[in-house]
Chains A and B, each alone.
Chain A
Amino acid sequence: MADILCPHCNRPNPDDQNICSFCRQPLHIVADDKAIHPGDMPTKKITSELEPFLPQWLRDARAHAEEEQVEPPAAETSQPAPAEPAASDWLAGLEAASRNEDEEELPDWMRGIGPSKPTPKPDQPKKAAPGLTRREEISWEEEPSPAPQPAEPPGTGPLGATRSEDGIPYWLKTAEAAAPKETPPDLPAPKEETTSSGNISPFESGTFRPNTGELINWLDKMSPQVGETAPELPRADLPASEPLPDWISSLDNEAAGGKETELNFDWFKDETATPLAAFQTGAETPEQTLPEETSQAAPPAPENSPDWLNAMPATGETAFAANNLPDWLSSPVAETSSAEPAKPSDTPDWMSAFAAQTAPASGEALPDWMKPTTDAPSSKEEAPSLDWMAPVAESSAPKEEALSFDWMSPTAEAATPAGETSASLPSVPAFLPGADELLDTNMPGWLSEIAPSESSSAAPALKTEPAFQDEITPAELPSWVQAMRPVEAALPNMPAINEPRSQPAESQGPLAGLRGVLPLAAGAFVTGKPRAYSIRLEPTSAQQQHAALLEQMLEAETQARPMRGDSLLPGAQRGLRWGMAVILVALIGLLLFSGARFLPLPSLLTPESAYVLDVMNAMPAESPVLLVFDYEPALAGELEAASASFLDYLTAFRNPRYSVLSTSPTGAALAERLLAKSQAIQPERVTWLGYLPGETAGILSFAMNPRAAKPLAQDVNAYADYALVLLLTDRAESARAWVEQTSAQRGGRPLVVIASAQAAPMIQPYLPRQVNALISGLRGGAAFEGATGQAGPAQTYWDAYNLALLTAAALIFLGGMWNLFAGLRARRQEKADA
């Protein structure tokens, strides 16, 4: 089996091992890009997505946290780790994980938690050095490993007992036994108390290198709490069946005294009386004192606490009396208490040696892992689970690295307030102030317990210790822990989550227990940007086919279709056209130029012209008459023949003054043409008003004020001054406009219309009130001539007109019959051929 060299201590380890057996550092350094560092701004994570990635032990712990009462296993109570109910959430996971046989689910970093490490599997010691437990496997730098110990799990005694008869955990005893018995040459000689035991603890030798790199970041975060809440030992949370070490009980009792507002490490100060101790205890720097609430908030000491722990308050300021402390802890205490030696009676030997060793060093020999804890800021937070380490931390003076306890360095770094450490650290801490509140609500219990506490009181101390700033390395949080961080509270710009009681709470899933996570009307309102729809028409293939078909149909409608069933050739059609034209032209020309008048004129006026003579008879002589010319040159022949006799008769009978107006651009010229042909009309009695634009509006305007519309109309003041309005038009619309627009202004004056035959049917409905008389076409003119006995152009065209119409009717009838039968025959032939 190939060995893997530890990147930290360069010692060989089995390749199937993730943690160095010697330095407890991870063998495989995995770059976690997703890990965050202190000062990184937290990002919003969907914790539900990370739920599956949680370790099984953590999920089990969360599942059974509320159900099961935490009962610390007897095999693990050798360490003074508290198990308070508040902290039972996260410890429950450890407990559950410890009971779980499948230890592969347990993260590697959890294996390096030293004293809290549960009892390893029976086969685990086989992987370690023979005869050594994993704890014993720790390599002391200055001295080879001590004599082989029975293959027992660390922290367990014979037959699995976790404590010895004197109440000292076996893991402490084991460490004590494994400690080098000789003091390193570079360290000051310990006092006699420390060497009385005969065993030199690793703390004494300075070679104790517990694994700190394996401390996960959340544990690193615990260090501030460790330092802040050092006096608050959660005695009440400890199970009754688990006796605490005396020295821890002493701490608890001391903290429960509640009379001191400062970190009551006078036992250390008094015993050591060193500048370092004074500095650590805050005797000279009152800023380091803890608030009073801290000591008062400490829970009362349990009755079943170990003696050495219960004895701590009894000692008063000399809380860590030597008789209550383990040897390994009492040693430095004894060493540092030069002025007032502590009572070494209950202090373990190895602790006493350690105390004696660290005292003269004035901080130089203080191990690294104890430095940060000494500077750990005080807080009002409750004592976390590792408060048992606080006294040790408070009693140390981390000035220099004499002892290589680097495994606690990360703890110290994490405990240092980020905003006050140094310029090398980002200004934003990993846990922002106020985040602990969210930790209590949105984070698992075990994470909320390690939330950072107020650490402002430790700021001055850190400022006075710039040497620590270099040792601070950014801690890394696993991504799943990062996702569970209360980013809403940490980020100032993010809205806080409101959890009104009125909103339902999630009953299952990763959001179980949270209120207001999902809005009630989530689907009723669109909160985001509405989806953009394209306004372009996106027809389907079927629609495109239909559109193409419709387009083809429309194109076919505009295309000329070939003539169907034509028996005549195009030349024959042209011959027919020319033949009909020749017939009509020849007939009309012959009758016109021959002067034949064999057809008599109508002897009576037509019904529509019956009132025309009455109108002329009713109008006064030489009265103004308005002549309106509103026809096109194409119909000039018809209208001139129809109106000529009427004008001559009117001029001869009443001699009116004519005002000529035209609503057609060519009307004026046609009027002049007509009047020029008249023999009776005198040009001097004619007023040429010209062209009247605007059609209907122009007619109305002229009717309302003739002088304003046509300044030349000087012979009238109003439209009603015209004795007669004679309209010559070939369009029914023009006649309708004059009728409708001038009825109000006409004042009962007569309106006579001489219209083309094609417009007469549309003017007849206005008879006889809006239009007093109508002379329609050549026939009306001929009837007027016949009725009045005048010779006019109507009589000239009358024969030609009637014979041309008769010929046309005959051609239509005969030609229609021919084509009808020809068509039927052609279709029969086509059917026969088909």
Chain B
Amino acid sequence: MKTRPIATAMAIGAGLIVLSGYFIPALDFIRIEMIQWAVVAGGTAALVGIGNLFTVHFQKVRRREKDSFYSLTLLVSMLGTLLAGMFSLFFNRSLAWLQPAVNAIIVPVEASLMALLAVTLLYASIRLLRRRPDWMSALFLLSAVTIIGATAILPLFLRDIGDVILSWMSLLLAGGGSRGLLMGVALGALTTGLRIIFGIDRPYGGK
């Protein structure tokens, strides 16, 4: 792949400056300024992404490709939401005109998807032992049943003991696992940052 020395130099330089800003007060203003640039670049990237989405679906509609009706729906919804938000901010200084869209479309649709996901996961759990009748499947189902049952049953019948058991399960079992994951994430982030600073990893382009 073609190397990009300029991009590599900029990435390494920015990383070193930002990192040095934490230890050298004189470089703090540079660090803050560069972070502001990153925020602006991130917002611009969101606009670019929205524009790219609009262009792709607009081309599909213009070419009358297969299932272009869905693309047309997306374009209409996008433009409608945009106009509603702009007019809402312009006239009411709020997003009140967007609330019907949020309450009637966005939240119910996504909530329905979550409900469908719950039913699908339930069905998959039931079929799991038929597809993979092994110990791991059995352990997974046992854990799920235990946690779900404890969450639901223990408060009903053993309120005090149930809270203690649930707290023990969540803080020790779940908390211990999550701490290990977070430590791994932190070490991975540190390593990734150093590799990017040293130019070993180039997620911004090059290799």
Decide whether A and B are members of one complex: yes
In the complex the two chains form, is A805's CB within 8 Å of B148's CB?
A: yes
Query: In the complex, are the beta carbons of B178 and A765 less than 8 A apart?
Result: yes
Which of the residues A701, A761, A812 comes within 8 Å of B144, measured between beta carbons? A812
CB proximity of A712 to chain B, nearest CB, Å = 11
Shortest CB distance A829–B (Å): 14
Asked if B151 and A672 make an inter-chain contact with CB atoms under 8 angstroms apart, the answer reads no
Contact of A669 with B171 in the complex, beta carbons under 8 Å = no
Contact A694 B38 (CB under 8 A): yes
Contact yes or no, A816 B107, CB < 8 A: no
In the complex, residue of chain A having the shortest beta-carbon distance to the beta carbon of B180: A765
Interface string of A700-743 (1 = CB under 8 A from B): 11001100110000000000000000000000100010000000
Q: Say whether B126 contacts A816, CB under 8 Å.
A: yes
How many of chain B's residues touch chain A, expressed as a range? 35 or more
- Per-position contact with B for A143-177: 1 when CB-CB < 8 Å, else 0? 00000000000000000000000000000000000
Bound complex: CA A26 to CA B109 (Å): 113
Chain A residues, Cβ within 8 Å of B109: 633
Known: A606-B167, A813-B141. A693 touches B175 (CB 8 A): no
Interface 1/0s, chain B 6-35, versus A by CB < 8 A? 000000000000000000000000001001
The distance in angstroms between the C-alpha atoms of A608 and B38, with both chains bound, is 35
Question: Given A634-B110, A669-B98, A816-B125 in contact, is the A693-B148 Cβ separation under 8 Å?
Answer: no
Closest to A806 in B: B152
On whether A764 and B174 interact (CB within 8 A), knowing A694-B39, A813-B145, the answer reads: yes
Interface flag for B123 (CB, 8 Å): yes
A672 / chain B contacts, CB cutoff of 8 Å: 94-96, 98-99, 102
- Which of A280-288, A383-391, A574-582 lies at the interface with chain B? A574-582
Cα of A779 to Cα of B95 in the assembled complex, Å: 31
Interface hits, B119-142 → A, CB 8 Å:
119-120, 122-123, 125-131, 133, 138, 141
Q: Please tell me if A791 contacts chain B, counting CB pairs below 8 Å.
A: no
List the B side residues contacting A584 at CB < 8 Å: 118-119, 122
Chain B positions 149-201 with a Cβ under 8 Å from a chain A Cβ: 149, 151-153, 155-156, 159, 163, 167, 170-171, 174-175, 177-179, 181-182, 185
Q: Which residue of A lies closest to B44 (CB)?
A: A693
Could you tell me the distance between the alpha carbons of A663 and B151 in the complex, rounded to whole angstroms?
31
| Contact residue among A673, A676, A802 (Cβ-Cβ distance under 8 Å from B155) | A802
- A693 & B149 in contact (Cβ 8 Å cutoff): no
Which residues of chain A from 676 to 713 have any CB-CB distance to chain B below 8 Å in the complex? Answer: 676, 688, 693-695, 697-698, 700-701, 704-705, 708-709
For window 50-106 of B, CB contacts with A under 8 Å fall at 94-96, 98-99, 101-103, 106
A607-B171, A819-B130 known; A779+B151 contact, CB < 8 A: yes
Could you say which residues of chain B place their CB within 8 Å of the CB of A802?
151-152, 155-156
**A761 in contact with B174 given A666-B102, A701-B35, A824-B133 (CB within 8 Å):** yes
Interface: A188 (CB within 8 A): no
Number of interface residues of A (CB under 8 A): 70
Interface 1/0s, chain A 786-821, versus B by CB < 8 A?
A: 000000000000000011011011011101111110
CB–CB B111/A812 < 8 A: no
| Complex: A819 Cα to B141 Cα, angstroms | 12
Q: A633-B110, A701-B35, A762-B181 are in contact. Are A668 and B122 (CB under 8 A)?
A: no
**Given A577-B123, A584-B118, A673-B103, CB of A764 within 8 Å of CB of B141:** no
CB neighbours of B5 from chain A (8 A): none
A562 at the binding interface (Cβ < 8 Å): no
**List of A residues within 8 angstroms of B126 by Cβ:** 576, 580, 811-812, 815-816, 818-819
Q: A576-B123, A634-B111, A812-B144 are in contact. Are A761 and B177 (CB under 8 A)?
A: yes
Whether A602 sits at the interface, judged by CB under 8 Å, is yes
Least Cβ distance of A143 to chain B in Å?
A: 96
- In the complex, are the beta carbons of A602 and B102 less than 8 A apart? no
Contact present for B32 and A704 (CB under 8 Å): yes
Residues of A within 8 A of B179 (CB): 765
Closest A residue to B125 using CB positions: A812
Residue of B109, B122, B167, B174 contacting most chain A CB atoms (<10 Å): B122
List the 9 shortest-distance A-B pairs measured between CB atoms, nearest first.
A815-B126, A634-B110, A819-B130, A694-B42, A694-B39, A693-B43, A820-B129, A805-B152, A809-B148
Given contacts A764-B178, A815-B125, A815-B127, 4 further A-B contacts (CB under 8 A): A602-B159, A665-B46, A697-B39, A823-B133
